Structure 1
């Protein structure tokens, strides 16, 4: 035997010991162990496996596992569901930990590996010990019936004492401490001796077990006889009309099913399942499955529904009280109520509320349920990637349950609740199916009256449910799913609307949550405006609420610490509570500058302004675009350059500029991806300004797609873009002529603050954007 040192990853095993020459698979789930496996696979696939002293310890330290273990070679790795890895290893040699090199992110140790050279021929004493161990093993097999007798054939052919002990040890069931004793016996003779003693003890235990087993068998025969007699008694009781137990339970199920007004096919199937339960043995595993199924069938709201509040005036009051703005959503709900009053059997609408975060999409759904007097259930779809979440598991699976839609209907206790699918644009799909496809049936008014859950295997009517979905963007919603929904866009709020929301809802809510009363703290309208302008830059009001909560916390601390009764927070003292303002309206950006134009962009979190910079340089006509721009935006820039080249004489630009000068177009905030065609006219304006040395009006912002002939095409997200321009203090906004229809969405106060100019061609854009008379 010789030894050598090696440094390899180490995994402590729970309740498992591995011997040399042993091939075994086991599952790995702990992060440290997974990291150790990955490190081993990167190198030579060698890993050191040792046993934990106590299997119950979940996060073992150096003191929690044995020093002696086995150096193994990883043969195969297979990733299982639930971040678990199944690994197949082969034991190579014994090893002993000499030093732990590291403990994070996985154990790595310096191992002294004991390599056995081909063993010399065993002496008589060794042969006698080998023969005794083989005899013990044969007796163990006969006594226990836990190992196939065929193993003896392969065991008897082993001539090496150490290997014989290891192979036999891998077949017998021993306590971890006993296995460790064998593993720590480096000398082959000592190892056989330890194994011999352990096998003798095990054989004694197995003989005692056999005696006990025989006694138990005689008892079981007695129990079976009693069961047979009891079954006869049940049969007699049935004849006499004295039924009890399972019979009575089945009858109760059938009686309840008969009372419920459910579809006939569901009723027939449920009664058939109940009758099948009657025929099964009470001890059968199937009885639990059928009971669970029947209880779900009985508890679902097949014929229970709440009565809608069809008083439109009262419903309007509730919606107005709970939410400020959101007029489109409120009007759509009131229209539904009006039609429900005229047409009693109208199907529930399927609405999709789309807008930036924090504008109240989720909370308006709760208010809708309250306004029309319906139950409310919410299902978050963010990150859902398993189709069974929607449709449930088939009953053939152990522990099968219905999907979350049927579960939510049971929880609602009504067949016509307001059902909110939150964050429908965050759905995912993987090998477990596509949840978005499973939702197609749910969100289709023509199909959802027969929605079939895999667990129920029976149609359930969802046609009276009012489904509401929310999303930040329509781009990630599959087209077939989007086609089934009525989209209502919720734009961001103006500063005036945010002040009203803060006064009516956010300040009272946060004051109450922080244990303050109205007399304890006061925030003026100017203070709220300062918070909105200097500390938040968002379409919704979520950050506004956080900042108000921040103020309330510090006010509460002052009241307790300084023993004062009230605090007035004004614009002068606001920085004491919220720190230095995070946002400032940059006046320098709004100066008239050459080669700098302000564009408007739409994002999933609201509108944004973009400063587009252009710098011409001596060169050979190279166009460089920076700022993490998408393909569409790059193509818009190229289109703009082509338009400018076709108009060089009218624009008084050097006709050879495209061969003599390089152009660098940059959109700041370069780490943020940007795409879309709506910056076309802005980039073209900035390039013309840079080439003609005419400044761009700093008070002008613009948006629109440009064509090769200089036409300005319409774009989307007008309201969000205009709100962004208003936040920056822009005085004039250039919009495509075809976007005139979108002005109905713009609040009147913003129309007074901003001059809107609708343009058809690039010439009109330049008339308004460039500062005339300067060159």
Structure 2
């Protein structure tokens, strides 16, 4: 080695991926030819060699531009030649130096370097940096397990800032570029500050790495634990003879999805949900929700249909076989069948059967399904007050399910069943929504081809479903819902119809239900009529069937008791033996009065259970002009009573009553059965007749019943429920019925059996009613005074009705 002035000429050893600091001892494996020659040259002279890092470690034959200018002069402590030609050298760094120039040498790099001066550093700032750096290194060693704790212990005893910085830099695994930066800093204070910053950054990175590793480790442990437990469950199930469920279930579900014919939207949705399901843990809650959703879609009859029977004669036979009468509903069903046979696809009609209980509305819907050859499904809407019962719950809710419509279609197993919605008039609404409003889409032929259930969130076609709704009263069904349905009224049965129903349907059914044969029990016609008249009072036949069942139970008891006579045993039920089985008659054959009475008029009323008769009583007594109305009457009926009173007062002169008669008397109008609420305008003419009879002391004919709304001018307006009222009149033995003229059109739809058995008088004015209802020897004597048009002015004097008229 030659030394010229302060510069030194030495062989150059280019380093890959390492920077040698002063006071640092490091083993180096040298394999490149030029590097081996440089070490050989150094060993042959003073053992000194210049160590400089390459800028790019990938270059095998570096040029001067590829080597950093600042490096370390080192001493070779030990050299070992390995069999493969490489050399292992143990080198100790001595001092920093800078390359001045490269010398021409072919076998190795020779450079002229200038040692960098060593800078002394003292003071409190340097002392603080020493402490901070040692503390940061201790923390780093605790986190980085690759550095032995002994190193931290030895470093803590170094007080020289220059040596401390180089020693720590040699132990920390930094990038070559970062270490080169530290090597190039000659001032120890700045070097310590730079080193402290780098160690803090490395410490933070290691802490983040450890947190991530810990999180990943926990997740892996949980997954491994779940996997282990699931494998144990499978092993136990296998030992018990059960199948390996999870995979088999997914395969079975996939097979069902491929096999099931679905609309495009539904098929796409199912495939998406199935992909999610495959990625989920089999035992997770989410997997259960997704699985249930897929099961619901696959279980629905999207394209499964039953073939309709188009034999109208056969359908008519079935309808007549199941039900007696009900001509209008049967005719409508046969019309639907006829049109269905002519066109390929017809939107299902929405029929609404309205009538009192027990007339066979639900059983008629069942017969329609039988006649059409369709599946039948029934849903009762009585008391439903939650919109989700119709439309379903959204899947975000716990325990969500489709609505009753979709659930019922799943039970029906066809997309074109006969769907009976019972008690559509008994729905109610609360804070959870209005189910009647939700039914609007279901029962609208223009919308229900795309019914959207909240749970499915898919459009379902309801257009081929034949909806039949039933109700007891029409006025409690919301008008928008009524507008979507075809109303068919079933008012009730006549005595003759009940008799035929009992013979042909009720008795055979109850005999079978009680284990008796037709030849063992016979009912006489008189006995059946007596049951209808004296033991039941209804529009339908439910109570009649219960009465027959009650008789047969007692007959069955007698049959079982007489074991020795069972072979030839038979029982005939006649009119005289009824009290033995049913007890005392509940109702009189006639509820009308047996004689003509003053102030008592017979009216006809409509209830949800059919028509009934009301006896309206009126009494006149001395008083001061008070009108008292009792009998638990509603607002409309009370107003009818006031209108009737005003009519009588307006007709006072014509009835030959004093103008001020109402100031001297109190009138009490009462409707018996005060515990039962009554309302409606159709009792107007009955109340007016009763008041007029009481004031004029003229009896009302007991065989006459009436119904109609009254105006102040005495006009008689139309009423509803005419058939039910006429049935009630016929049932009660009424002979003559007074009906508003405006209801003449309704008489055409009433069976002739009813109209022929009653004398129906059409009236337009209250005067006609009084002439028909009051028992008059001379009809002309009723209106003695002048007519209202001929009567004098109330404020004029004198008057033909009284000597003096006072203005009130």
Deviation per CA, 1:557-582, whole angstroms, max 9, x where unpaired?
12222444011111111111100001
Change in CA separation of 1:336 and 1:614 when aligned onto 2, cut-off 3 Å: same
Distance in 2, matches of 1:576 and 1:230, equals 72
Report matched runs for 1:8-87 at 5 Å: none
Q: TM-score scaled by structure 2?
A: 0.65
Distance in 2, matches of 1:418 and 1:586, equals 42
What's the counterpart of residue 104 of structure 2? none
Distance in 2, matches of 1:689 and 1:317, equals 53
- 8 A contact 2:590–2:733 mirrored in 1: no
- Per-residue deviation, 1:700: 0.4
Distance in 1, matches of 2:410 and 2:291, equals 17
What's the counterpart of residue 643 of structure 1? 647
Distance in 2, matches of 1:766 and 1:653, equals 16
Distance in 2, matches of 1:256 and 1:222, equals 33
Tell me the SS of whatever aligns to 1:527: helix
- 8 A contact 2:704–2:734 mirrored in 1: yes
Report matched runs for 1:384-399 at 5 Å: 384-399=384-399
Change in CA separation of 1:228 and 1:533 when aligned onto 2, cut-off 3 Å: closer
- 8 A contact 1:425–1:474 mirrored in 2: yes
**Structure 2 residue ranges without an equivalent (≥5):** 1-216, 232-243, 782-808
- 8 A contact 2:736–2:758 mirrored in 1: yes
- Per-residue deviation, 1:285: 2.4
Aligned length: 547
Change in CA separation of 1:516 and 1:245 when aligned onto 2, cut-off 3 Å: closer
- Per-residue deviation, 1:230: 12
What's the counterpart of residue 709 of structure 2? 705
What's the counterpart of residue 318 of structure 2? 318
Tell me the SS of whatever aligns to 1:651: coil
User: 609, 615, 620: which is aligned to 1:611?
Assistant: 615
Tell me the SS of whatever aligns to 1:512: helix
- 8 A contact 2:378–2:420 mirrored in 1: yes
Q: Does 1:348 align with 2:348?
A: yes
Report matched runs for 1:95-114 at 5 Å: none
Change in CA separation of 1:245 and 1:358 when aligned onto 2, cut-off 3 Å: closer
Report matched runs for 1:275-674 at 5 Å: 275-563=275-563, 564=565, 565-586=569-590, 589-674=593-678
Tell me the SS of whatever aligns to 1:352: strand
Tell me the SS of whatever aligns to 2:617: strand
Deviation per CA, 1:319-362, whole angstroms, max 9, x where unpaired?
00000011111111111111111122111111111100000011
Distance in 2, matches of 1:569 and 1:278, equals 71
Tell me the SS of whatever aligns to 2:701: coil
Deviation per CA, 1:516-569, whole angstroms, max 9, x where unpaired?
111111101111000000000100001000100011011111222244401111
Distance in 2, matches of 1:230 and 1:615, equals 88
- Per-residue deviation, 1:225: 8.0
Distance in 2, matches of 1:268 and 1:516, equals 59
- 8 A contact 2:599–2:691 mirrored in 1: yes
Tell me the SS of whatever aligns to 1:488: strand
What's the counterpart of residue 198 of structure 1? none
Deviation per CA, 1:411-441, whole angstroms, max 9, x where unpaired?
1110000111111111122233222222111
Distance in 1, matches of 2:769 and 2:631, equals 24
- Per-residue deviation, 1:257: 3.4
User: 755, 761, 764: which is aligned to 1:751?
Assistant: 755
- 8 A contact 1:514–1:552 mirrored in 2: yes
Tell me the SS of whatever aligns to 2:700: coil
Change in CA separation of 1:671 and 1:331 when aligned onto 2, cut-off 3 Å: same
Deviation per CA, 1:190-222, whole angstroms, max 9, x where unpaired?
xxxxxxxxxxxxxxxxxxxxxxxxxxx999949
Q: Does 1:736 align with 2:750?
A: no
- 8 A contact 2:390–2:435 mirrored in 1: yes
Distance in 1, matches of 2:414 and 2:406, equals 11
Distance in 1, matches of 2:776 and 2:554, equals 52
Change in CA separation of 1:587 and 1:370 when aligned onto 2, cut-off 3 Å: closer
Deviation per CA, 1:455-510, whole angstroms, max 9, x where unpaired?
11111111110111111112222222222111111011000000000000111111
What's the counterpart of residue 77 of structure 1? none
Distance in 1, matches of 2:293 and 2:735, equals 66
Deviation per CA, 1:625-681, whole angstroms, max 9, x where unpaired?
000111111111111111111111222223221111110000111111111110111
- Per-residue deviation, 1:253: 4.0
- Per-residue deviation, 1:260: 3.6
- 8 A contact 1:247–1:278 mirrored in 2: no
Change in CA separation of 1:395 and 1:658 when aligned onto 2, cut-off 3 Å: same
Distance in 1, matches of 2:303 and 2:602, equals 59
Distance in 1, matches of 2:299 and 2:229, equals 37
Distance in 2, matches of 1:769 and 1:550, equals 42
- Per-residue deviation, 1:386: 2.2
Moved more, 620-629 or 286-295: 286-295
Distance in 1, matches of 2:514 and 2:678, equals 40
- 8 A contact 2:353–2:487 mirrored in 1: yes
Change in CA separation of 1:559 and 1:414 when aligned onto 2, cut-off 3 Å: same
- 8 A contact 2:380–2:421 mirrored in 1: yes
Deviation per CA, 1:224-270, whole angstroms, max 9, x where unpaired?
18959999xxxxxxxxxxxx986775565455435444321222111
Distance in 2, matches of 1:346 and 1:425, equals 27
What's the counterpart of residue 726 of structure 2? 722
RMSD: 2.4
Distance in 1, matches of 2:245 and 2:510, equals 57
Distance in 2, matches of 1:263 and 1:433, equals 30
Distance in 2, matches of 1:221 and 1:716, equals 78
Tell me the SS of whatever aligns to 1:287: helix
- 8 A contact 1:628–1:674 mirrored in 2: yes
Tell me the SS of whatever aligns to 1:309: coil
What's the counterpart of residue 784 of structure 2? none
Computing the radius of gyration from Cα coordinates, the structure with the larger value is 2
Change in CA separation of 1:663 and 1:273 when aligned onto 2, cut-off 3 Å: same
Change in CA separation of 1:277 and 1:770 when aligned onto 2, cut-off 3 Å: same
Distance in 2, matches of 1:587 and 1:288, equals 65
- Per-residue deviation, 1:387: 2.1
Distance in 1, matches of 2:291 and 2:337, equals 40
